[in-house]
Each structure stands twice: as structure tokens, then as C-alpha cells.
Amino acid sequence: MPALVLLGAQWGDEGKGKATDLLGGSVDYVVRYQGGNNAGHTVVVGDQKYALHLLPSGILSPGCTPVIGNGVVIDPSVLFSELNGLNERGVDTSKLLISGNAHIITPYNVTVDKVTERFLGKRKIGTTGRGIGPTYADKINRVGIRIQDLYDESILEQKVEAALDGKNQLLTKVFNRRAIEVGQVVEELLSYADRLKPYVADTVLVLNQALEDDKVVLFEGGQGTLLDIDHGTYPFVTSSNPTAGGACTGAGVGPTKISRVIGILKAYTTRVGSGPFPTELLDADGEALRRIGGERGVTTGRDRRCGWFDAVIARYATRVNGLTDFFLTKLDVLTGWEEIPVCVAYEIDGKRVEELPYSQTDFHHAKPIYENLPGWSEDITKAKSFSDLPKNAQDYVKALEEMSGAPISAIGVGPGRDETIEINSFL
Ligand code: IMP
């Protein structure tokens, strides 16, 4: 009954798509359990590069059933354009399953996301502007619209009316915008119903039956641990739970079913949007990491903020997710530095702190304490096994493993599917 969770151990963009796809051939189901089209996965298959935002990356593996779980928020227009794009390139998407309980990102959720950010000015979160936060807010406020609502027109109308009641007051009176018409929203939502219908399923039942039948199920987290609404750097977070527990609630699978939790860990650190980032580099090294690592958002096209590896964060990710393994990505990006600094602890108000402080104020004051590790200059992209790596690269990996608290079971040495060193099999 192998149920694996694969999630970002830092602030997202660790290279999850590559890891999921590496397993794709042996995995029967790939499930997204939270987030929406704020995620961005780049998957390279042969000479083809795919950018996915909402669909699970397992959609590219022919034997695999991709599932969008109840915890995900879906913008149907984005879903269709992603499906169309894949179909045009010959990818069969007919096996996709979508939970009827997943919430819909409505046009007014997108509007509220954008105007709220504008209104916050320099205090903005730096959201992707895709309506994620407002859609989850509606869900928690119990005025959300779910996929299943598309199949009962009168209920849909009542729900949209309830949701827009307060929002129109806000839009017109606070944000000075035009009110949104109920009829127009209902019409747009209904226009998606027929095309969505074949995909809609009781995904909780399907997944639990699959696990009983000994199928391999992979739960794929969007974003990352430090962007978790509960365990991340609140309020500079996304509005869902990318951490391991989110897989249980967002897919309807009990925690006793999860057999392995794999944290994707970049060999350095990046973050998009606002918020604290102790090892951020605002110098030539940061620029070099951005350039060599191609650190530009798949979803937003924004440059990512770059910095050295932070072991405090990695330890925190191990703890909060109960990680059993790490998949270390983008090690090749660090080739060429004479020495590579690694943050081993923080200095906060003159004191050495080994673990992530729970206080937001303390974290904002955290200064990295670095240890310099010797670098390497050899090309590592052709390495097939750990012993193929130069000694200093091996030592860098071993040091990260020791500091981070879980074994590194795979290492990415290039963007291609085959540019991965497998140390321990995930299955
Ligand atoms: P939202 O998810 O659009 O609400 O944005 C909230 C925060 O999460 C912002 O800082 C975004 O930049 C960040 N974020 C959302 N999705 C991703 C992702 O896939 N990778 C990295 N950062 C993300």
C-alpha cells in the first residue's frame, strides 16, 4: 500500500515536477491535494519542456491517473487551457479525475485578490494574483462554490448570490470598483459544466480503493513548507496546507495510509513574493544563482529571490512534515563556486539559535550564521551515481544530509529526466 507524499521543503519551486515525473512510470495515481494554478511545475521529457500550473505532473505519464483532490481550488478556464495545450502536443488527458468537492476560483475571487493586493500597497503579500486566497477564504466562510454545484443550477445561483452579497459591498464601497452581476457569473460557471462532467468523480473513494488494491499513489504538494498557512512564514504564505498533513485532508486519505514523505530540497534557497528570507543574497552571487538556476517563476514570470542553503529551514521541514527522505535538486547550479556558504544557525538579538523561531518578530531579525564548504568546478551533469560526483560535491551533500535530519535519497544534477542520481529507491 505505498502512498507517498512529495512536497517542497522550502518556499516552493524546488523542482517537484522533475521528482514526480521521475516516479511517474511506476506510480498509478498522482494527486494534487491543495493550492491551485498558483503552482508552477516545469517538466522536461526528452527535448520537450512542459509548464504545468494546475494539473498534477503525472499527467505526462501514460499509465498514470492524475487526480485533482478536494483540497484544490480550480479555475476552470485555466484548467481547460492547460488541457488544450497538452492535447495539442499529443498528450492524452482523458484519465484525469476531479473531486466534486474541490472549490472553484470564480472571476470575483480573482478580482478580490488583485484589488486587495493593490490596497495593501507596500504591505502586500506578493500573491500570484490568481484568486487563491479569496477562494479559500470563501471556502472557510462557507460561501464557496464547488465543482458539484455546477450541476444544480438553482443552488448555484443561490450560492453565487450569497457569495456576492458582501463582496459587492466591499468592491463598490471600499475598493471603488463596479459591482459584479450574479447572472453573469452563473452563466460563465455553467458554461464549464459539460466539459468538466466526464472528469468529476468521488476521488476519496477512488483513492482509498486504489490503496486497498495495492496501487502506488503519489500525493504531490504545490508551493512549499514555508508557504503553509499554518506552518509557514505567516502572513507571507499561501492560503492552504502544502505540508504533509494537507495530503490527508486535501485528498481524504487517513494518516495511517501514508508510507513515505519526501521533501524536495533545492541545494540553495529561493523565494517568490514578499516576506522574510534570512539567507537572501542581494549581490553578484544572488544574481549568479538566479541566472544559472533559471530562477524565474513558471506561473508569474517574476524573478525569484535567491540565497544560500538554509539548514535551519531544512530541519524544520523534516520535523513539521515527518520527512522520511529528501530529494536534493539543482546541485549542478552550484558548480563553479570556490566555497559555498551554508547557513547552519541564526543569530537573533545576539544569541545563536539552532531552530526556526516560532515568533515572527524573531524570524524577521534572524541573521544567518554560515559555514563555508569547499566547492567544485567539474561538470556533474553526467553523474549517474553518488561516487561519480567530485569529492567536494559528495561532502556538500553529506553535510546537508547531516544538518537536515533525513537521508538524501536522490540528487538532481540537471533539468532532464535522466539527470538524476538515485541513491535509495522511493518505492
Ligand atoms: P498566492 O498563493 O497566490 O496567494 O500567493 C501567496 C504567496 O505564495 C506569494 O508569496 C507567492 O509568491 C507564493 N507562491 C504561491 N505559489 C507559489 C509557488 O508555486 N512557488 C513559489 N511561491 C509561490
Q: How many CB atoms lie within 10 A of CB 238?
A: 27
Q: What is the pLDDT of residue 18?
A: 73
Average pLDDT over residues 348-368: 97
How far is the centre of ligand 1, averaged over its atoms, from the C-alpha of 375 (Å)? 31
CATH dotted code for 103-197: 1.10.300.10
Q: Hey, whose CA ends up nearest to atom 8 of ligand 1?
A: 238
Confidence band, pLDDT 50/70/90 cuts, at residue 19: confident
Q: What is the pLDDT of residue 21?
A: 64
Ligand 1 atom closest to the Cα of residue 275 is: 10
Ligand 1 atom closest to the Cα of residue 240 is: 2
24 pLDDT higher than 90: no
Q: Hey, whose CA ends up nearest to atom 1 of ligand 1?
A: 127
pTM for the model: 0.95
Which residue ranges does the chain devote to CATH 1.10.300.10? 103-197
39 pLDDT higher than 90: no
Phi-psi region of 293 (alpha: psi -120 to 50; beta: other; left: phi over 0): alpha
Q: Which tens digits make up the pLDDT trace of 401-418?
A: 999 999 999 999 998 878
Ligand 1 atom closest to the Cα of residue 272 is: 12
Q: Which long-range contacts (CB under 8 A, 24 or more apart) does 351-355 make?
A: 353/312, 354/312, 355/312, 355/315, 355/316
Average pLDDT over residues 4-21: 88
Q: Hey, whose CA ends up nearest to atom 5 of ligand 1?
A: 127
How far is the centre of ligand 1, averaged over its atoms, from the C-alpha of 97 (Å)? 25
Q: Which tens digits make up the pLDDT trace of 172-209?
A: 999 999 999 999 999 999 999 999 999 999 999 999 99
40 lines ligand 1 (CB under 6 A): yes
Q: Shortest CA distance to 423 belongs to which of 396, 392, 383?
A: 383
Q: Hey, whose CA ends up nearest to atom 15 of ligand 1?
A: 38
Q: What is the pLDDT of residue 1?
A: 62
133 lines ligand 1 (CB under 6 A): yes
Q: What is the pLDDT of residue 347?
A: 98
Average pLDDT, the chain: 94
Q: Which tens digits make up the pLDDT trace of 375-387?
A: 999 999 999 999 9
Q: Which tens digits make up the pLDDT trace of 212-232?
A: 999 999 999 999 999 999 999
Average pLDDT over residues 22-36: 89
**Active-site annotation, residues:** 13, 41
Which residue ranges does the chain devote to CATH 3.90.170.10? 3-91+202-422
pLDDT: is 426 or 320 the higher one?
Answer: 320
296: which strand partners? 303
112 lines ligand 1 (CB under 6 A): no
CATH entry 3.90.170.10 includes domain 3-91+202-422: yes
To test the ligand 1 pocket, which listed residue (38, 269, 271) has its Cβ within 8 A of the most ligand atoms?
38
Q: What is the pLDDT of residue 302?
A: 85
Q: What is the pLDDT of residue 44?
A: 72
38 lines ligand 1 (CB under 6 A): yes
To test the ligand 1 pocket, which listed residue (55, 115, 128, 229) has its Cβ within 8 A of the most ligand atoms?
128
Cell of 104: 472553484
Please tell me the distance from the alpha carbon of residue 395 to that of residue 401, in angstroms, as a whole number.
10
132 lines ligand 1 (CB under 6 A): yes
Sheet holding 420-422, edge to edge: 200-201, 97-99, 65-68, 29-32, 217-220, 3-8, 260-266, 325-329, 408-412, 420-422
